[in-house]
Amino acid sequence: GESVGLHLPTLSVQEGDNSIINCAYSNSASDYFIWYKQESGKGPQFIIDIRSNMDKRQGQRVTVLLNKTVKHLSLQIAATQPGDSAVYFCAETPRVAGGTSYGKLTFGQGTILTVHP
């Protein structure tokens, strides 16, 4: 079936480095993509999103890139900090008839980001 998956299950970086977390998706009908951060014992926290009609979107220290040709999504975190250590999930939701997805999110497996001081 359709799925969203990640290339790397773990990523270790030094404080101050830039981090890149990757995600592949298979549903060509995917219309909206979101990155979530989940810390231990907590629910997923929204980081940044991007619509399928965009290639890039920037937030505070984070950038999401979308390559629809190869169905690839990435999250870039600038100047990574120890507080960024968490599991990062990409998620997608497709556009359905009428142009509304109703927010049924399909999540990938997750990447564990560890930031060393």
User: How many chain residues bind another protein (CB under 8 A)?
Assistant: 25
**Contact present, 117 and 31 (Cβ < 8 Å):** no
Q: Which of 11, 25, 35, 89 binds another protein (CB under 8 A)?
A: 89
Identity of the residue, 23 or 77, whose beta carbon is nearer to another protein in the bound complex: 23
Phi then psi for residue 82, to 5 deg, are: -55, -30
Q: Which of 40, 53, 97, 103 binds another protein (CB under 8 A)?
A: 103
Q: Which of 40, 43, 69, 117 binds another protein (CB under 8 A)?
A: 43
Tokens 């990409």 correspond to what residue? 90
| CB burial of residue 57 (10 Å; 0-12, 13-18, 19+) | middle
Point out which residues bind another protein (CB under 8 A): 4, 32, 34, 36, 41-46, 49, 89, 91, 93, 100-110
